[in-house]
């Protein structure tokens, strides 16, 4: 009898050693809920899908992330995602910090108008370790473990009224913007009438004519078929490009073994790279694809872009002071070096 008990003990110990990723005492959930604003038909949602699949495969199912698109975990209101994560409703975020401005404004450093005017500048910032380390520390202080950073894409204006060539052309246009008051102020500075609403509410508002315009990456325009919502004119001015943040709620992150944390982080980095690749490919094709739908697309000249940037300088300065002056100054220094290179 004693020999049988002894052999059982050896067997149990050997089993534990054979599966080091499952730490003794760790309580893994059957499902970890991930919120995304859009489904995998969009580059943003596809990034979330890739991440969830990689984590599930590489942890042999120990960490099962399920994607909830349409911000359905917060009734379609993407501005509530970060606070819902803090409350335990959401375990994994794959989203744009601009949407969480009311909760964690200090994370919105990438969204100021023309702060990263092109991909060369954006890539230099994302590759700058001191800048990103400081940013990731802000995410940790806010209540999540940052895993990786993708790209939501440069935001462009579409509208149903007229071509928008210069700031004055926005006067009187009612435009849907996302949750940041900064975006609202940018539009009102140019004479537009900004209205804040979720993406779920924006689509019927555009279709009915209650709202004249919206601003989003053109890949969203294409995937959501916004041309069918009365949007006849597009201006590709690249005024803002938020990151796509992959992050895990602290309460979930701390329950995972060190080995699984490493696996999840590597999966996030790989997913972000793939997601950025998708965004860049669409960016290179978007003008031709939108024009093919019969939509008028204006690509500003360098002189026209200077006018847009000058018009937004006061808003930029005001929000730089409110968001994070020190970190934004460091981003500016990195961007300036790319212009001299």
pLDDT of residue 178: 83
Same-domain pairing of 198 and 247: no
Same-domain pairing of 270 and 226: no
Average pLDDT for 175-195: 93
Kindly state whether residue 11 falls inside one of the protein's structural domains. no
Average pLDDT for 229-249: 97
Same-domain pairing of 65 and 107: yes
Kindly state whether residue 9 falls inside one of the protein's structural domains. no
Using pLDDT thresholds of 50, 70 and 90, give the confidence band for residue 4. Answer: very low
Residue 137: pLDDT above 60?
yes
Kindly state whether residue 51 falls inside one of the protein's structural domains. yes
pLDDT of residue 26: 64
Residue 12: pLDDT above 80?
no
Same-domain pairing of 187 and 233: yes
Kindly state whether residue 338 falls inside one of the protein's structural domains. no
Same-domain pairing of 249 and 236: no
pLDDT of residue 199: 83
Mean pLDDT of the chain: 92
Convert the pLDDT of each residue in 262-309 to its tens digit.
Answer: 999 999 999 999 999 999 999 999 999 999 999 999 999 999 999 999
Closest CA to 63 of 268, 300, 269: 268
Same-domain pairing of 319 and 178: yes
Kindly state whether residue 96 falls inside one of the protein's structural domains. yes
Convert the pLDDT of each residue in 73-92 to its tens digit.
Answer: 999 999 999 999 999 999 99
Kindly state whether residue 21 falls inside one of the protein's structural domains. no
Same-domain pairing of 33 and 101: yes
Average pLDDT for 150-162: 97
Using pLDDT thresholds of 50, 70 and 90, give the confidence band for residue 5. Answer: very low
Convert the pLDDT of each residue in 33-77 to its tens digit.
Answer: 999 999 999 999 999 999 999 999 999 999 999 999 999 999 999
Same-domain pairing of 170 and 236: yes
Same-domain pairing of 256 and 322: no
pLDDT of residue 200: 84
Same-domain pairing of 205 and 162: yes
Kindly state whether residue 19 falls inside one of the protein's structural domains. no
pLDDT of residue 340: 83
Could you tell me the CA-to-CA distances from 158 to 228, 233, 258, 283 in Å, in that order?
12, 5, 46, 16
Instruction: State which residues form the domain around 140.
Output: 28-153+242-284
Least confident interval from 11-15, 277-281, 299-303, 332-336? 11-15
Same-domain pairing of 320 and 224: yes
Convert the pLDDT of each residue in 113-122 to its tens digit.
Answer: 999 999 999 9
Kindly state whether residue 87 falls inside one of the protein's structural domains. yes
Separation CA 153–CA 283 (nearest Å) = 8
Same-domain pairing of 197 and 251: no
Using pLDDT thresholds of 50, 70 and 90, give the confidence band for residue 125. Answer: very high
CATH number at residue 197: 3.40.190.170
Number of domains in the chain: 2
């Amino acid at each position: 009898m004693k020999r049988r008990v002894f052999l059982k003990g050896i067997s149990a110990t050997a089993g534990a050693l054979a599966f080091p990723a499952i730490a003794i005492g760790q309580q893994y959930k059957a499902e970890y809920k991930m919120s995304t604003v859009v489904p995998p038909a969009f580059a943003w949602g596809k990034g979330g899908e890739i991440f969830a699949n990689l984590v599930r495969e590489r942890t042999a199912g120990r960490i099962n992330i399920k994607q909830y698109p349409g911000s359905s975990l917060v009734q379609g209101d993407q501005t509530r995602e970060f606070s819902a994560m803090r409350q335990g409703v959401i375990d994994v975020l794959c989203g744009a910090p601009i949407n969480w401005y009311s909760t964690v404004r200090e994370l919105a450093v990438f969204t100021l108008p023309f702060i990263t005017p092109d991909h060369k500048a954006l890539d230099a910032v994302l590759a700058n370790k001191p800048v990103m380390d400081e940013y990731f520390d802000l995410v940790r202080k806010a209540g999540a473990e940052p895993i990786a950073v993708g790209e939501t894409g440069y935001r462009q204006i579409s509208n149903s009224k007229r071509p928008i060539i210069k700031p004055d052309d926005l006067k009187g246009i009612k435009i849907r913007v996302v949750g940041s008051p900064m975006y609202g102020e940018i539009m009102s500075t140019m004479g537009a009438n900004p209205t804040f609403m979720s993406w779920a509410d924006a689509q019927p508002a555009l279709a009915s004519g209650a709202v004249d315009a919206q601003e989003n990456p053109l890949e969203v325009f294409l995937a959501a078929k916004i041309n069918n919502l009365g949007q006849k004119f597009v201006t590709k001015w690249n005024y803002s490009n938020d990151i796509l943040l992959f992050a895990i709620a602290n309460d979930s992150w701390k329950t995972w073994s060190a080995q699984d944390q490493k696996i999840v982080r590597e999966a996030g980095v790989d997913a972000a790279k793939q997601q950025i690749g998708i965004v860049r490919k669409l960016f290179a094709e978007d003008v031709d694809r939108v024009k093919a739908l019969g939509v008028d697309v204006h690509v500003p000249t360098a002189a026209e872009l200077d006018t847009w940037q000058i018009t937004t300088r006061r808003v930029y300065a005001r929000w730089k002071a409110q968001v994070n002056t020190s970190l934004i100054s460091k981003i500016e220094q990195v961007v300036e070096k790319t212009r001299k290179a």
